Structure 1
Amino acid sequence: MSEKNRDGKRNARQRLAVEREKQKAAERRRRALIVGASVVCVLGLAAVIGVIAANAGKNKSSHNAGPVVAPSGAQGKDSLAIPVGKDSARATLTVWEDFRCPACQAFETAYRPTLHELTDAGKLRVEYHLVTLIDGNVGGSGSLRAANAAACAQSAGKFRDYHDVLYENQPKETDDAFADNAKLIELAGKVQGLNTPTFQKCVDDGTHDSWVAKSNKAFQAGGFTGTPTVLLDGKNIYQDQSMTPAKLKQLVEAANRR
């Protein structure tokens, strides 16, 4: 074999060895990345689990085992409904809502003028049921705290105005700003005559926490799947894609003509 051929084979072996080493190094890097990514995922999952556990602890303590204290004027089964409007109204709208729920805010924004008009005219009675769906879905306690504060406002005779203020100042769904009682008390300042020592104590003490928890259990037992759930004389109108404030007004006026 010529010297030239031997050199060629030797160079080929060297190139092959170098290439194999590169492949091994690449494989080592790939495995390191996989392991690293796995660690990040596990750590991220652990962090999520930690947050959920922490929030669960908060929610558990917030849903205290104290007596179920319904707000003044609450009606219906187990006194779980807060009524707005006259009892003599011929049509009844039942609303299951969560103050952290963006869809509830959208419903309120679109339908509020019509609801106010119809209730003020004595044609419609609205029964509000307060739930804590968002607390359960994303964690936190803002749904519970806001619902308790709204119940405190009901006892003060200021539910509807405070109800509207809460939706007008609703934080983003993932922002648990309503978990802060001081924030809820501050917002009460927007309702004339509401921000009193009695109201503040009711909010800070969580007077109606167990009542809200019972309302939420009733929501689950009813088989409802989301908020808002809106029923006109028992019929779910929120699922009606053709429903509008004008159509709702027509239905209510028709009920009052019967």
Structure 2
Amino acid sequence: MNAQTPGQPLPPKKDRRETARESARLMREEQKKREKRNKLFLRGGIGLALVAIAAIVAVLIVGSVKPPSPGPLNMASDGVLMQGDGTTISAVPTAATAADAEPVATDVSALTDTVNITVYLDYLCPYCNQFETTNAAQLTSWLTAGNITLETHPISILDQSSNGTKYSTRSANAAACVANYQPDSFLDVNSALFASQPTEGTSGLTDDELVSLVQDAGVTDEAVATCITDQTFSGWVKDATDRALKGPLPNTELAAVTGTPTVLVQGVQYTGALDDAAAFEAFVMEQATATADDSTDSGE
């Protein structure tokens, strides 16, 4: 309604109604324009938000797809091979596996004077601990005497059982760090990791605690501590685990690892009791005898 000049008479009632209707029409049109603009802004905002979300998802996906990682020294087969000379135990030196290279299987044809034992293990696995606790002394004795070689493959299949800390990967990484920098201490660290094994479902040892553990086990190379806290070989641990689970496993007819511990003697899987040292010893002797018989037959 138009303002009236003081003292000026109001327009007729009919004109006032038409003026009110026109004013209402203009207000409705302006409201429709505002609503249309708001819809356009909303759509644009949603579109920008979707673009932003898509970008974030893409970054996360790209970040989660990590390239293969180089392996540690002395683990070209994805495992560390230990041997004895009658008095001491030492690791067999090998070059590191390049990030884009496949592991090199141990040449067991060059190890005909020994019984070759291979163990795939997870440091959070209680059954692996059972096997280690039961047979460590006998294995060490055989190794020292030069009667066997022992190849240990640390893998990580129980990461989901450590409250998100990925203890299996971190402990396997610690073992790989030792193999890389101070390989002759590997068995001592291996035993220490099982002696301090956390319970499944707990967070496990921290990286700093793993550093203290390997140092208490006799590791003096300062580079090992940094390797552990930086988780230098965690990517390699995943790759080695994938290879073990996918197969094929070298030097055996066993297709792949389906659980831990997987224990192979002369390429034959041990399926006996893990807490029976006598049963395992009998199995080792059986495989040693079978191999000797095969060698004799082939030489006739």
TM-score w.r.t. the length of structure 1 is 0.66
For residue 282 of structure 2, what is the aligned residue in structure 1? 247
Query: Relative contact order (alpha carbons < 8 A, sep ≥ 6): 1 or 2 greater?
Result: 1
For residue 228 of structure 2, what is the aligned residue in structure 1? 203
Give CA-to-partner distance per residue, 1:117-173, whole Å, 9 cap, x none.
111111111111111111145654000000000011112122111111000111111
**Take 1:256 and 1:68, find their aligned partners in 2: how far apart are those partners?**
40
State whether residues 85 and 126 of structure 1, in contact with CA within 8 Å, keep that contact through their aligned partners in structure 2. yes
Paired letter, 2:215: G
TM-score w.r.t. the length of structure 2 is 0.58
State whether residues 161 and 200 of structure 2, in contact with CA within 8 Å, keep that contact through their aligned partners in structure 1. no
Cα distance change, pair 211–117 in 1 and its aligned pair in 2 (3 A): same
* Cα shift at 1:69: 2.6
Give CA-to-partner distance per residue, 1:186-235, whole Å, 9 cap, x none.
1122222x144211111111111121111110121133221001111111
* Cα shift at 1:64: 8.3
Paired letter, 1:143: S
Report sequence identity in percent: 25
Of the candidates 102, 115, 128, which is equivalent to residue 91 of structure 1? 115
Cα distance change, pair 113–171 in 1 and its aligned pair in 2 (3 A): same
Task: State which structure, 1 or 2, has the greater radius of gyration over its C-alpha atoms.
Answer: 2
2:220 equivalent to 1:186: no
2:260 equivalent to 1:227: yes
Cα distance change, pair 206–137 in 1 and its aligned pair in 2 (3 A): same
Cα distance change, pair 121–252 in 1 and its aligned pair in 2 (3 A): farther
2:174 equivalent to 1:149: yes
Unaligned segments of structure 1, at least 5 residues: 1-60
In the alignment of these two chains, the number of paired residues is 192
Q: CA RMSD in A?
A: 2.6
Moved more, 182-191 or 106-115: 182-191
Higher helix share: 1
**Take 1:173 and 1:256, find their aligned partners in 2: how far apart are those partners?**
41
2:191 equivalent to 1:164: yes
**Take 1:204 and 1:174, find their aligned partners in 2: how far apart are those partners?**
22
2:278 equivalent to 1:236: no
Unaligned segments of structure 2, at least 5 residues: 1-62, 85-109, 248-255, 296-300
For residue 138 of structure 2, what is the aligned residue in structure 1? 114
Paired letter, 1:115: L
